[in-house]
Amino acid sequence: MRISRIVWPIVATASLLLTAVPAAAANPLFGSITGPGPAPSSPLSPAVPLAPPETPAAERPVTPPVGEESPVAQTRAQIVIDRARSQLGVTYAWGGGNIHGPTRGIRDGGVADRHGDYNKIGFDCSGLLVYAFAGAGVFLPRTSGDIFRAGTHVPLAQRKPGDVLFYGPGGRHHAALYIGNGMVVESPHSGATVRIAPINWSGIQPVAVRFV
């Protein structure tokens, strides 16, 4: 009787331990027998999504500051100017010139005929503008008066390179491309050639006309 009273508590304790070990192994709060289990998730600490990687500064779109001219507008104006300058020295021919370059002049029944413009290959003032602006995707009307009415008028004092300056009523007498620093590219008159010259202030319209 004395031995059985000692052995029974030992057997009962061993039995409880053997039952607890598998239960602990199956419970995620206790981890694994062979190593730590996954950390329990808490409803009070939801997973925080990672922020998307920051775009490198070199790839971010650039917005021109307020008041500054768009780089695209600057580029188009320079295309127009360069295309006009490429024709320096080409003969004046009344009615000559289109989007592709100089063409044969036409008769005017007056001064141009006396200079034989109808037998020359070249530009008149508006023909040079038609050619220059076509390079920037701007297709102008053919005569200086129509070009004057087609664009945006700005005060002459606010002119910038790429604007067009006009002469005579409604701009019908002459047109020249402003290139900056008080200079223009123009095809001035019969007997002359395409040239760079200072602005002629006599008879000039009080506005410049802007297309780019």
- Residue 192 tokens, joined: 């002359």
Distances, alpha carbon 16 to alpha carbons 12, 19, 23, 114, in Å: 6, 5, 11, 126
**What percentage of the chain's residues is helix, strand, coil (to nearest 5)?**
35, 20, 45
State phi, psi for 155 to the nearest 5 degrees.
-55, 140
115 part of the active site: no
186 part of the active site: yes
The catalytically annotated residue of 59, 68, 125, 153 is: 125
Are 152 and 169 within 8 A, CB to CB? no
Nearest by Cα to 185 from 90, 110, 112, 71: 90
- In eight-state DSSP terms, residue 40 is P
Distances, alpha carbon 50 to alpha carbons 21, 44, 47, 53, 54, in Å: 39, 18, 9, 9, 12
Query: Side-chain half-sphere of 9: how many Cα atoms within 13 Å?
Result: 4
The catalytically annotated residue of 153, 173, 186, 189 is: 186
Query: DSSP letter string over 52-99?
Result: PPPPPGGGSPPPPPTTSPPHHHHHHHHHHHHHHHTTTTPBB-TT--BT
The catalytically annotated residue of 59, 100, 174, 189 is: 174
Indicate which residues carry an active-site annotation. 125, 174, 186
